[in-house]
Amino acid sequence: MVNGSPADTEFGPVQVQLNVSSGRIVSATAINYPQESGHDLRINSYAIPVLQQETVSAQNAQIDTVSGATVTSNGYRQSLQSALDAAHLGS
C-alpha cells in the first residue's frame, strides 16, 4: 500500500491510497475526501467510485474529471500522482 500526499481543496483534503503489485495498480482507494455536508456526500458518493475505477483502468493519473465533481477530481488526481511517484510508477 502506498499513500499519496493529501491534496488540499476548497472543500477539504483528498487523499488516495494505492495497492500495487508487480508494478501495477491493483486497487485505488480514496482514504480521505470531503464528507462534511450533504452536498459533499452526494457528489462524492458517485465521484469517488468512478475515480477509483478509472485509476485501475488507466494505470496512471491521466483520468477524466467526473462531471459535477471537478474540485474532488482535481484533488484526487493530485494525490494520485504523489502516490504514483512514491510507488515509482511515474505518471
From first to last of its 91 residues, the chain has per-residue pLDDT tens of 999 999 999 999 999 999 999 999 999 999 999 999 999 999 999 999 999 999 999 999 999 999 999 999 999 999 999 999 999 986 5
pTM recorded for the entire structure: 0.95
Q: Quick one: pLDDT at residue 2? A: 97
Sequence-distant (≥ 6) Cβ neighbours of residue 14 within 8 angstroms: 6, 7, 30, 32, 33, 34, 72, 75, 76, 78, 79
Burial of 48 (0-12, 13-18, 19+ CB in 10 A): buried
